[in-house]
Amino acid sequence: MMFFFFSVDCVAAVCVIFHETVVLKVAMSCEGCAGAVKRVLGKLDGVESYDIDLKEQKVVVQGNVQPDIVLQTVSKTGKKTTFWES
């Protein structure tokens, strides 16, 4: 008869959730530009909602996101993107 003993080291998974409101200034001149921003934000994990104000060139993103990742993602549209200065 054989007995096997296993030792299991459990490591607790640490999940960091960032509930953020990220406000960006994005150089958008038309609905096509706003559409490009909508497409990339729609694919970004953690985005719960977003609002695009074409006239103000302002994008507000809410969700479990990191501000720098949101900035990088929107920048991939080719539009000049910076954090909104209050």
pLDDT of res. 86: 75
Per-residue pLDDT, averaged over 56-70, amounts to 96
CATH level 2 (architecture), domain 19-83: 2-Layer Sandwich (3.30)
pLDDT tens track for 28-56: 999 999 999 999 999 999 999 999 999 99
Q: Among 6-10, 26-30, 51-55, 66-70, which stretch is predicted with the lowest mean pLDDT?
A: 6-10
DSSP code, position 45: T
Contacts of residue 19, Cβ cutoff 8 Å, sequence gap at least 6: 62, 63, 64
pTM for this entry? 0.78
CB atoms within 10 A of CB 65: 23
